[in-house]
A and B are shown apart, each in its own frame.
Chain A
């Protein structure tokens, strides 16, 4: 049982490049989400999904795009990377509509030059 798997763990981009952070979970969780973690800012919600085909914006959605075609996968796309998107990104999932604990991946550290 792998839990929540994120790839890649590390990535360096140049300003303007695009990329996709992958997230997969094998717990059959309906709810999946993406957070970014910056020093002194805690974790901030980017986008979330309550089931396949359903996505919604979180607190800081600008510059990011998501889709949810299957229950297992929830990729996060950076359309045109900016230095302000340098951060550590975490994918997390939980049972839905359960309001219980989130299960986190190990994170993807992104640097935009």
Chain B
């Protein structure tokens, strides 16, 4: 079963515009993470937000978390062609004892046109 679901599935914007991607999930989480995947490559961690945090920034990235709505958003400001990639949210939930598992959504494909 999919814990995180990204929206939209695909997003196409012009260079310099902002890109917003959303993630919804179903159960209580320890934290929520965003990853980027360039075509044909592995996933790269972007940012982590804990369940007791509401907003976090890292460079041109801004992540918000609303645990009451079980949703998160990733904002990329002043986008560049190099930001073209798939973006995944992943939720960390307890899987037994002190172990946590990360469950990934299906991703948003972002295309930034020069």
Contact = CB atoms under 8 A, between A and B. Distances in A.
Interface of A: 4, 35, 40-45, 48, 50, 58-59, 90, 92, 97, 99-107
A103 B41 CA distance: 12
Contacts, number: 52
Interface stretch (B14-22, B53-61, B76-84, B98-106): B98-106
Given A40-B106, A42-B2, A42-B105, A101 B92 contact: no
Contacts of A106: 41-42
Q: Is the interface of B mostly helix, strand, loop or mixed?
A: strand
Interface of B: 2, 30-31, 33, 35, 40-45, 48, 88, 90, 92, 98-107
Given A99-B31, A100-B48, A43 B88 contact: yes
Given A105-B42, A106-B41, A99 B92 contact: yes
